[in-house]
Amino acid sequence: DVKVTQSSRYLVKRTGEKVFLECVQDMDHENMFWYRQDPGLGLRLIYFSYDVKMKEKGDIPEGYSVSREKKERFSLILESASTNQTSMYLCASSTIQRVFSYEQYFGPGTRLTVT
């Protein structure tokens, strides 16, 4: 079974703080993704990475950065947290090793509150 873990289920931070959200997957997947989920807006892609040290912007990258130094780990960084970044953050991974298999596997999510 694919296992995607996220460092925290709940996080409360103050405005202006630097925030790190960590995601680890144990299935040697090449691709990793960070989404945020807000009521009525569904899932929106922030960044994704298709290889170590490679990253691409998603639909809403402003205010975020990412780091992928190791294949299994993908970090989302909020350089200076703001209240409009209060949200549920979901990490996912997928592989290209199995033909036609593009489904993403998700972690449990981190509910971040910025006060």
Question: Where on the chain is the footprint of another protein (CB under 8 A)?
Answer: 31, 40-43, 45, 48, 50, 56, 58, 88, 90, 92, 94, 96, 100-109, 111
User: Least separation, in Å, of the C-beta of 16 and another protein?
Assistant: 27
Give me the DSSP letters along 50-98.
Answer: EETTEEEE-S--TT-EEEEEETTEEEEEESS--GGG-EEEEEEEE-SSS
- For residue 51, give Cα distances in angstroms to 22, 86, 88: 16, 28, 25
Tracing tokens 């899932």 back to the chain, one arrives at 43
| Minimum CB distance to another protein smaller for 69 or for 100 | 100
The 8-class DSSP code of residue 72 comes to T
User: Least separation, in Å, of the C-beta of 103 and another protein?
Assistant: 5
The 8-class DSSP code of residue 40 comes to T
| Minimum CB distance to another protein smaller for 12 or for 96 | 96
Q: How far apart are CA 25 and CA 70, in angstroms?
A: 11
User: Least separation, in Å, of the C-beta of 115 and another protein?
Assistant: 21
| Minimum CB distance to another protein smaller for 26 or for 56 | 56
| Minimum CB distance to another protein smaller for 79 or for 103 | 103
User: Least separation, in Å, of the C-beta of 106 and another protein?
Assistant: 4
